[in-house]
Structure 1
Amino acid sequence: MEQQVFPGRYTADPGRESVTVFLIGMRANRWWKVGKVAQVAVAMPRILRHLANDPASGMLGFEQWFGRTTMLVSYWESPEHLRKFAADREAPHLEPWRRFMKELSGTGDVGIWHETYQVPAAGIETVYSGMPLFGLAKATAQIPIGRGTNTAKQRLGHSRARGNGAKTAGAGQAS
């Protein structure tokens, strides 16, 4: 599917005081153990479908990359939303996590990792040039760069009241 490319320069407007950024991934340490790698990899699509169908979950959007080390970056309304999802016995997260810990943790076959960052809006600087909707702008709102947001210094620390154009994307759009 061809994505619309937006000529010109844009920035993201998170539309909130902060954004929780959650990075998660896995690494095929012993890539020849395809079955073990697949056992871990198959959990994420189900989790992402669940989150996409539940706007109240608080996940705003995500991007993902595949390779020997995979990575998914997701944007959340708050750390509380992320923690609530992770602990939800009805959500499709706990069962794969428990299975990994029981069957694969410590074997060295597959590694998993995650990092969580609570980022104040004043600490966010983004620029997208000649790109389709991507990253934080895709997850929240993309706005044209203009007066007061032309430089990285101006964008970093710029309040959510940017006032320099209509947003291009709505919240919650994911890859």
Structure 2
Amino acid sequence: MPATHARDGGLVVFHIGMTIHRPFRPDLWLPVFRAMPTMLAELGRNHAAADRGEAEDLGFLGAQTLFGARGPWVVQYWNSVDQLYAYARDTGRAHMPAWRDFNAKARKNPGAVGIWHETYVVEEGGVETFYGNGARAGLATATGTIPLGRRGTTARERLSRRTPSPSDG
């Protein structure tokens, strides 16, 4: 049965990754690589605890890890950009120590590994998804799915936007 994502409202899509410039020097890039699973595990535990009412919700919805020729890339989904930034700055969480460690090592070994991120703030009505024949990826893994028809039968309907046609002048 065709499906679409279950989330209502806006969200933040956060891409973060690393580029390995010296693949034959894992001693220089492996510590950076190992930091992300630690952060994702922390965020996943918090998300589950918040769902049970046992912890403050940090705003993390879920993530998917991808691997490219130059290194890993993680797509994360968040409730808000403020919650993403709060997590990034929280000295009691895994991110800040990992960030400080990366900066210290990068100064000692410039050019060994690069890190990058992109942040997209998506307003309500600005997301359209389709998952057919049981495929579940991206936002569906973070929010679950609902039957496709509940949001509209076409991509245009699901986006809640009307694209102007040439006759609109």
Match of 1:49 in 2: 41
Q: Is 1:127 the equivalent of 2:120?
A: no
Deviation of the 1:48 alpha carbon: 0.9
TM-score by length of 2: 0.82
Deviation of the 1:58 alpha carbon: 0.9
Q: Which amino acid aligns with 1:61?
A: G
Q: Is 1:14 the equivalent of 2:17?
A: no
Deviation of the 1:99 alpha carbon: 1.4
- Distance in 2 separating the partners of 1:66 and 1:118: 24
Match of 2:81 in 1: 79
Aligned residue for 1:133, secondary structure, equals coil
TM-score by length of 1: 0.79
Q: Is 1:31 the equivalent of 2:15?
A: no
Deviations 1:79-118 (A, max 9, x none): 1110110011110111111111122157111010001111
Largest Rg, 1 or 2: 2
- Distance in 2 separating the partners of 1:148 and 1:60: 20
- Distance in 1 separating the partners of 2:27 and 2:90: 27
RMSD: 1.7
Judged with a 3 Å threshold, the aligned counterparts in structure 2 of structure 1 residues 121 and 31 are, in CA distance, closer, same or farther, namely same
- Distance in 2 separating the partners of 1:156 and 1:92: 36
- Distance in 2 separating the partners of 1:81 and 1:148: 27
Q: Which amino acid aligns with 1:62?
A: A
Q: Is 1:60 the equivalent of 2:52?
A: no
Deviation of the 1:33 alpha carbon: 1.2
Judged with a 3 Å threshold, the aligned counterparts in structure 2 of structure 1 residues 147 and 78 are, in CA distance, closer, same or farther, namely closer
Displaced runs of 4 or more, over 6 A: none
Aligned residue for 1:42, secondary structure, equals helix
Match of 1:104 in 2: 106
Query: Does the 8 A contact of 1:62 with 1:73 survive in 2?
Result: yes
Query: Does the 8 A contact of 1:14 with 1:121 survive in 2?
Result: no
Q: Name the count of aligned residue pairs.
A: 150
Aligned residue for 2:102, secondary structure, equals helix
Deviations 1:13-42 (A, max 9, x none): 312x21011110001111111111101001
More helix by share: 2
